[in-house]
Amino acid sequence: MSSGGAPTPPEHGDEAQERHDYRAVNPRAARATFVLVGLIVAAVVAGGFVLLGGGGSRDRLAGPVATSPTIDRGAEAPELDAKTAEDRLGSGHVALKVTHTQLLRTRPDPDGQLVARVGRKTPYGGPNILPIIKARGDWIAVVSPYRKNNKIAWTKVREGAKYVSVDYSISISVSRRTIVVRKDGEVVRKFGSAVGQVTHPTPLGRYAVTDGLIFSTKVRGPYGCCALVLSARQTKLPAHWAGGDRIAIHGTPNKQSIGLAASLGCLRVGDRASRWLVRKVPPGTTVLVRALAGVFPERTIKARTPESSVMVAGVERAFALCERLNRLGYADQSEIRGLVAELTGRPANESLRLVPPFWSDCGANLRIGERVFINHGCTVNDLGGITIGDDVMIGPNVQLISSGHPTDPERRRREVVVAEIRIGRGVWIGAGATVLQGVDVGDDAVIAAGAVVTRDVAPRTLVAGVPARAIKQL
């Protein structure tokens, strides 16, 4: 979707590369700025037209959509009373409805670098709804398109602030090319999707829905009937690109592209799917975009192949290193980190705490974030790849198993099937839990003791049981 070429305020320090959009204060200023840079975007109240960037080639972006007016707007989230909202701040189910100009800063401090002045309306004419990630005193951290991808903005809560309830969430798997929609933690819809090309990949991370747009049915452009505009921005556009950089989930007349890496970063779905999304999913909904290793969620390693020979050698190496590590005591954290670095082939963060014994069958495909705690007796079989995010706590005797075998008896002893596991930021995995191959665990989720996780886990969700199922939203 098109996005601002607005004048920027003075830039300082690490924020010098940030994109600033002070025209978000009101739609009329936003429209003027967008038109000045050669893009066609206007508020609905002005009878405007929408030019979406990142959904196709430059030629496809330029003409047809400019004749497709936005005639309606999608779902709206219900308002919350102040007390309920305050009790639920930081739960992932509350968003701020901007009623007066809000100053967005880089940190919860009046002296923090100013990122943007945000008004009641988005540049597309809808209400400005900012999902709240966490709260600190009178300050809240929000998801906003006015910072770099995956960076939060802070704003001070005004007296009489209005909030809305956010019941939906969206998880997008770029490698599976699927969009999963949940309501109150339960899956309600799943759609196939086209994703960004290899050279223009769909940006990964945590974003938010900012607008739901419904276009005229009289003239259908390359974006189908509808679009959910996201806060994400495409940072890998073609050279000399003159269009916008906002990412969207939108319809497409080119249904053959669904399931392929075919766009400039946007997510393409069928018109029926995009219409449902816009009618049901309101602004303020969080969107998690992730990718598993490789193009497909699973791959097979066959016996007596060069790849299997490398695998066997890697297993022997990993076992030898784990045996050395397991002779150390908990107090030997420096030596433990040194062996973890040797095992993974990358430096181990100083904040890592690991209690031996610990087992891995590869190590080279294991990535561990900051401030991670791994309790004793854990097995991390990372042949398929395992990524452990920041601030993760892993209980005793947990098993992360990214490899297995086909159930077909004829193939079972001759093939190994692998798929990446991703553990998001702030996850807690209880004692004795097992996470199997191809599973994506969302940020701040909790896996109960003894659970066997075979499917993706939504952010801020407690799962338990065999197989694990959602118990409640956190």
The gap from C-alpha 117 to its chain's centroid, in whole angstroms, comes to 25
pLDDT at 153: 93
Q: Does residue 454 contact residue 467 with C-beta atoms inside 8 Å?
A: yes
pLDDT at 92: 67
The amino acid present at 195, given as its one-letter code, is V
Rounded average pLDDT over 335-359? 93
- Quick one: which of 193, 223, 259 has its CA closest to 50? 223
The single residue listed with the structure tokens 């181990």 is 348
Instruction: Please determine, for residue 57, whether its predicted confidence score (pLDDT) is greater than 70.
Output: no
Instruction: Please determine, for residue 346, whether its predicted confidence score (pLDDT) is greater than 80.
Output: yes
187 pLDDT band, cuts 50/70/90, is confident
The full length of the chain comes to 474
Instruction: Please determine, for residue 16, whether its predicted confidence score (pLDDT) is greater than 50.
Output: no
What are the distances in angstroms from CA 356 to CA 86, 254, 430?
Answer: 42, 54, 17
pLDDT at 97: 92
228 pLDDT band, cuts 50/70/90, is very high
Name the average pLDDT for the chain.
79
Looking at 3.40.50.1820, 2.40.440.10, 3.40.50.12140, 2.40.50.1070, the CATH number of the domain 1-290 comes to 2.40.440.10
| pTM of this structure | 0.55
d(CA 171, CA 317): 36
For residue 127, give the DSSP letter. Answer: B
Mean pLDDT comparison of 5-9, 250-254, 278-282, 458-462, highest-scoring range: 278-282
Instruction: Please determine, for residue 29, whether its predicted confidence score (pLDDT) is greater than 50.
Output: no
Least confident range of 225-234, 241-250, 421-430: 241-250
Q: Does residue 400 contact residue 412 with C-beta atoms inside 8 Å?
A: no
The single residue listed with the structure tokens 């969107």 is 287
| Percent of the chain residues past pLDDT 90, beyond the cut | 36
Strands 114-118 and 102-105: antiparallel
Report residue 349 as tokens: 């963060």
pLDDT at 457: 86
Rounded average pLDDT over 298-312? 77
What are the distances in angstroms from CA 287 to CA 54, 117, 182?
Answer: 17, 23, 11
Rounded average pLDDT over 52-67? 32
pLDDT at 72: 66
220 pLDDT band, cuts 50/70/90, is low
Structural domain boundaries in the chain: 1-290, 299-473
| DSSP notation for 40-100 | -B--GGGT-BB---SSS-HHHHHSGGGG-BEEEE---PPEE-HHHHHHHTTSSSEEEE--S
Instruction: Please determine, for residue 10, whether its predicted confidence score (pLDDT) is greater than 70.
Output: no
Count the Cβ atoms, other than its own, within 10 Å of residue 239: 4
The single residue listed with the structure tokens 């497909």 is 296
Least confident range of 28-37, 212-221, 352-361: 28-37
Q: Does residue 135 contact residue 240 with C-beta atoms inside 8 Å?
A: no
Instruction: Please determine, for residue 198, whether its predicted confidence score (pLDDT) is greater than 80.
Output: no
Rounded average pLDDT over 203-224? 81
The amino acid present at 224, given as its one-letter code, is G
- Quick one: which of 253, 156, 182, 211 has its CA closest to 445? 182
What are the distances in angstroms from CA 345 to CA 224, 315, 352, 373, 458?
Answer: 46, 14, 15, 19, 30
- CB under 8 Å to 321, separation ≥6 — which residues? 339, 342, 343, 360, 363
pLDDT at 98: 92
**CATH superfamily membership of 299-473:** Hexapeptide repeat proteins (2.160.10.10)
pLDDT at 68: 45
What ranges in 293-360 are assigned the alpha helix state H?
306-325, 333-344
Instruction: Please determine, for residue 212, whether its predicted confidence score (pLDDT) is greater than 80.
Output: yes
Count the Cβ atoms, other than its own, within 10 Å of residue 285: 27
CA-angle at 281, arms to 273 and 137, nearest 5°: 150
| DSSP notation for 183-249 | ETTEEEEEEE-BEE-TTSPPPPEEEEEEEEEEE-SSS--TT-SEEEEEEEE-S-PPTT--S--EEEE
The amino acid present at 60, given as its one-letter code, is R
The gap from C-alpha 52 to its chain's centroid, in whole angstroms, comes to 20
Secondary structure (H, E, C), 8-27: CCCCCHHHHHCCCCHHHHCH
Report residue 414 as tokens: 């001759």
d(CA 53, CA 352): 41
Dihedrals phi, psi of 17, to nearest 5 degrees: -95, 0
**Active site residue: 93, 200, 250, 405, which one?**
405
- CB under 8 Å to 299, separation ≥6 — which residues? 384, 417, 418, 419
Q: Is 250 a catalytic residue?
A: no
pLDDT per position as a tens digit, 380-401:
999 888 989 999 999 999 999 9
